Amino acid sequence: MYKQVLAMYNNKSIVLGFSLLALFILVALVPTMFTRQSPYTPNFDNILAPANGQHIFGTDELGRDLFARIIFGTRYAFIVVLSVCIVTIPLGFTIGAIAGYKQNFIGNFLSRMIDVFLALPKLIIAMALVASVGVGIKNAIFAIILTAWAPYARLTRANVLQLKQQDFILVLKLQGVSSSRILFRFIAPLCLSPIFLQAFLDMSGYILMVAGLGFLGLGAQPPLPEWGSMLANAKDYILTHWWLITYPGGAILLLSLSFNLIGEGMQSVLTNKGF
Amino acid sequence: MCLQIKAFNLSLGSRKILQDINLELGPKDKLGIIGESGSGKTMLAKSLVGMVPRNAKISAEQFKILGCNYSLDSDYAKVKQLAGKSVALILQDAKIALNPIMRTSEHLLESLRLAQPSLETKDYTRKLVKILAEVGLGENVLTKYPHELSGGMAQRVLIASMLALNPQILIADEITSALDNASAHKVLELIATLTNFYSYSTILISHDLELVKKYCNMIMVMYQGRIVEVISSADLENSKDAYTQFLLNARPNKAKRGQILSEIPC
Amino acid sequence: MQLITSISLNYKQCVNLFIRFGITSATLVLLVVFLSKISPIDSGLSRVGDQFSDISYQAKNVSLKHGFGFSLLTNNLVLQDIKLAMPATFELATAAMLFAILIGVPLGILAAVNKDKLLDHILRMLCLLGNSVSIFWLSLMAMLLFYAKLQLFPAPGRVDIAFLDEIAQPRFLLISSILDGNWPLFKDALAHIMLPALVLGYYSLANISRMTRLFVLQELQQEYVITCKLKGMPFNQILRRHILPNTAIKLITVILLSYASLLEGSTFVENIFMWPGIGLYLTQSIMVNDLNAILACTIVIALIFITANFICDALYKFLDPRVANV
């Protein structure tokens, strides 16, 4: 384990991704350190201004400072990623573990459920969900959770199926250890590594998904400074005011890139198959 | 003389893999190379076809294959061209060594085409049939995939596809290690017959003393990259060398039943 | 040389696959119906003031029999709108896929053969960016750069205003204009499809080239490559006759899955480039809260996606002779 952590320090991908991520985390935690402008106060005298001394990135269509909105929007990106991860990973893990371990009706049913949700297109279903049930960032998070738990369940199920055959499990069963204890205390810790890896790779996907939903007006609602909805508002002005889409989109790109870098680096460290 | 190598050295970084190797082979000679795993047998075989690792350092006093002298500093790349044309190296696990999505007929035709690129289809077919007969395979293997063949049959297909290239030197690298005893004997019998018929120079690499003693006329014992001794197979049991004696005594046989086998010291 | 070597239809596996397909589709339809029932949006109410007030009951009915109800946007049956929109999306997706395959596969092979050299690093960075960029942002930037600033490509849309009535019927413009010999239409359609196809294809390009590189690297490590080298085969021949066929078998499933996921990406691309496909229809229906259209599009797109997934599963079992005969 220690050797792996050491290998991570030497991996260029991880280092780069991590520093980028750390920067974003800092921005999310103390946004006021980076800008003194408010992301919410409109200023109708100064709408759609290009970059100038007072507004580093210019202003949007209501006169709000774009830089400040991007800085404060970092929070929403992290809120989404964290909320989704906190729910999907344990949920997917539990469902996958039960599906892999038990062969009875529940296990089979859960297994089928995993297959079904794996085959569904995530974004489309999420869009349908939010569009029907109601817009807002909470519903967007809920929709992403519903469509994104399946990969973790699949990973866990595969690992549990494999580990179930091992002799040490048989020994535990003969000792009379209950199934749930075997599952969660002995098998579970061995499955964590690929889930961890998949989580990082998926996190960039969550950001892109919530930005996409925001772009269609399904995510965070105005006046929240969420990057996707900022792009939606700016869509009509891009031909003449290019900065309105370049900077928020660039922020999405960089944050997503940082997660991808970490994920790819971990893949080549943790698995030998990472070419 | 087909093969004349004097004082061949190969080192990888600071490790010396092969030291002071001398080889002399003529037509119809069958040399068996015996040694433990890691004694450098495979590396020696590969260096005869020019397949050494990129950062390996090689040197030799003389490196003469089929009458051509190769200077190892500058000409070694030319040795690589011998692969498939005059020197054939046959690998160990035939089922893996054959492309799993190609049928036997395709494997053999490919070799035939490489050897003689511009013949008519009926010539190829004729040669195909001839080569199948030589290795003792029926025509029913032609449509089979490698995973559908038994170990012995797959090994024969591999041998056939190598022989189709008309080599003059055959190197068989542990080709019987993945086979059961009966198949192993049959395959080596085949190699011996072909060597006599076509006047090949054959090198048989193995870790099985009995097989090598039966099918080769000279035996070379290797240990950790060096040649321990070169002895004719008739004299093997009377070898004076300590290491060879260890190898001979480590073989299980009926007389030693119930006794603990002697171990080879590290 | 044949790729599909032995299609051994294992009866039990077939039935298994069909059952899973059926369950998934059924779940999808159930989900959609559930959404339509619990949704607070009342499509009937949105048509207040409409003289066809008795149709407002049908408007809530998401059934195929009634053609999925009426669209708020076009006042047509949703089913008709979808029928009109599908060829446009299909055309765009196919163009994007062609681009992705024709550029992605050679790039992947080159990167694998030149591993750890400059070309390899460039490709990996390209793939990384492809996974991190949001497709709508890329479309916007592309439109900004190539249409507004550089003026290389025409305005968003499928054809110029002059040709608008050509797309009133569902058809594949590029193919039918060639067959009719209508060259101005063909040139116009081609010019319009290029930029959205390039943007949409970029995602698939990143994925396909990365998988190609991975597969070729895996094949290069196999024993049979050594056997070929021992036979004295030149490297080009090894690549062409041994490595590529083995890689192609694995790539087919990747390509098919990529094609299906293009549908998701085309939602945004069509929106920005005003391409009259099902993605544009879906996003515009979302804007006006037209529940029938939204759910109908969801069913259609999701069904195509599921079908592609199951075809992939089936192909994977049948294409590899080692797996097929087990």
The answer to whether the Cβ–Cβ distance between C231 and B110 falls below 8 Å is yes
Read off the pLDDT of residues C272-283 as tens digits, 9 standing for 90 and up.
888 888 999 998
What does the angle CA B156 – CA B161 – CA B164 come to, to the nearest 5 degrees?
120
Which residue, among B89, B93, B101, would best test binding to C if mutated, counting the most C CBs under 10 Å from its CB? B101
Long-range contacts of A158-164 (CB under 8 A, 24+ apart): A158/A100, A159/A100, A159/A187, A159/A190, A159/A191, A159/A194, A160/A96, A160/A97, A160/A100, A160/A101, A160/A187, A160/A191, A161/A100, A163/A187, A163/A190, A163/A191, A164/A100, A164/A101
Whether C59 has a pLDDT exceeding 60, the answer reads no
Instruction: Judge whether C287 is closer than 8 Å to chain A, CB to CB.
Output: yes
Q: Which of B84, B102, B147 sits opposite C230 (nearest CB)?
A: B84
pLDDT at res. A149:
92
Query: Which residues does chain C have within 8 Å of residue B160's beta carbon, measured at their own beta carbons?
Result: none
pLDDT at res. C9:
54
Which residue, among B102, B155, B157, would best test binding to C if mutated, counting the most C CBs under 10 Å from its CB? B102
Q: Which of B99, B148, B161 sits opposite C242 (nearest CB)?
A: B99
Q: How, if at all, do strands B201-206 and B169-173 pair?
A: parallel
* Alpha-carbon distance C71 to nearest alpha carbon in chain A (angstroms): 15
Q: Which parts of chain A sit beneath pLDDT 50?
A: 273-275
C291-319 vs C78-113: helix crossing angle, rounded to 10: 40
pLDDT at res. C4:
43
* Alpha-carbon distance C305 to nearest alpha carbon in chain A (angstroms): 6
Read off the pLDDT of residues C122-160 as tens digits, 9 standing for 90 and up.
888 889 898 889 888 999 888 888 887 777 777 777 777
Q: Which of B101, B106, B158 sits opposite C321 (nearest CB)?
A: B101
Q: Which of B88, B114, B162 sits opposite C233 (nearest CB)?
A: B114
Confidence of residue C97 (pLDDT cuts 50, 70, 90): very high
Read off the pLDDT of residues A76-125 as tens digits, 9 standing for 90 and up.
889 999 999 999 999 999 898 888 888 788 888 888 888 888 888 889 99
Q: Predicted ipTM?
A: 0.83
pLDDT at res. A91:
92
Whether C40 has a pLDDT exceeding 80, the answer reads no
The answer to whether the Cβ–Cβ distance between C260 and A215 falls below 8 Å is no
Whether C106 has a pLDDT exceeding 90, the answer reads yes
pTM: 0.83
Compute how many other C-beta atoms are within 10 angstroms of the C-beta atom of residue B122. 8
Confidence of residue C322 (pLDDT cuts 50, 70, 90): low
Instruction: Judge whether C321 is closer than 8 Å to chain B, CB to CB.
Output: yes
Task: Give the residue with greater pLDDT, C160 vs B241.
Answer: B241
What does the angle CA C137 – CA C138 – CA C143 come to, to the nearest 5 degrees?
100
Q: Which of C229, C231, C246 sits opposite B101 (nearest CB)?
A: C246
* Alpha-carbon distance A168 to nearest alpha carbon in chain C (angstroms): 30
B205 contacts B171 by C-beta, under 8 angstroms: yes
Task: Give the residue with greater pLDDT, C42 vs B133.
Answer: B133
Read off the pLDDT of residues A27-43 as tens digits, 9 standing for 90 and up.
888 877 777 777 777 77
**Average pLDDT rounded to a whole number, residues B64-77:** 80
Q: Which of C231, C321, C325 sits opposite B165 (nearest CB)?
A: C231
Distances (CA, A) of C288 to A214, B170, C43, C294: 16, 78, 10, 10
Confidence of residue C49 (pLDDT cuts 50, 70, 90): very low
What is the C-alpha radius of gyration for chain A, rounded to an integer number of angstroms? 22
Query: Which residues does chain C have within 8 Å of residue A235's beta carbon, measured at their own beta carbons?
Result: 140, 272
Q: How, if at all, do strands B226-232 and B201-206 pair?
A: unpaired
Q: Which of B97, B101, B148 sits opposite C227 (nearest CB)?
A: B97
Q: Quickly list DSSP for A78-121.
A: HHHHHHHHHHHHHHHHHHHHHHHH--SHHHHHHHHHHHHHHHS-
Compute how many other C-beta atoms are within 10 angstroms of the C-beta atom of residue B126. 13
The torsion angles phi and psi of C153, rounded to 5 degrees, stand at: -120, 155
Confidence of residue B8 (pLDDT cuts 50, 70, 90): confident
Confidence of residue C309 (pLDDT cuts 50, 70, 90): confident
pLDDT at res. C213:
92
Chains touching A, CB cut-off 8 Å, 3+ pairs: C
Which residue, among A20, A80, A120, A247, would best test binding to C if mutated, counting the most C CBs under 10 Å from its CB? A120
Confidence of residue C205 (pLDDT cuts 50, 70, 90): very high
**Average pLDDT rounded to a whole number, residues C171-200:** 82
Q: For B72, which DSSP code?
A: T
Whether C227 has a pLDDT exceeding 80, the answer reads yes
* Alpha-carbon distance A165 to nearest alpha carbon in chain C (angstroms): 22
Whether B234 has a pLDDT exceeding 80, the answer reads yes
pLDDT at res. A144:
92
The contact set of A with C (CB < 8 A) is 112, 115-116, 118-125, 127-129, 131-134, 204, 208, 211-212, 215-218, 228, 231, 235, 238-239, 242, 245-246, 249, 252-253, 256-257, 259-261, 264, 275
Instruction: Judge whether C155 is closer than 8 Å to chain A, CB to CB.
Output: no
Mean per-residue pLDDT of chain A: 84
Least confident range of C101-105, C127-131, C132-136, C168-172: C168-172
Mean per-residue pLDDT of chain B: 85
pLDDT at res. C208:
94
Whether B73 has a pLDDT exceeding 70, the answer reads yes
pLDDT at res. C69:
67
Q: Do chains A and B touch (3 or more CB pairs under 8 A)?
A: no
Query: Which residues does chain C have within 8 Å of residue B102's beta carbon, measured at their own beta carbons?
Result: 1, 242
Q: How, if at all, do strands B87-90 and B30-34 pair?
A: unpaired
pLDDT at res. C99:
94
Instruction: Judge whether C217 is closer than 8 Å to chain A, CB to CB.
Output: yes
Q: Which of A231, A245, A253 sits opposite C132 (nearest CB)?
A: A253
Q: For chain A, list the domains and their CATH numbers.
A: 25-31+59-270 (1.10.3720.10)
Q: Do chains A and C touch (3 or more CB pairs under 8 A)?
A: yes
Residues of C (188-247) whose Cβ lies below 8 Å from B: 222-224, 226-227, 229-233, 241-242, 245-246
Whether B168 has a pLDDT exceeding 80, the answer reads yes
For residue B39, give the nearest of B173, B180, B235, B161 by alpha carbon.
Answer: B173
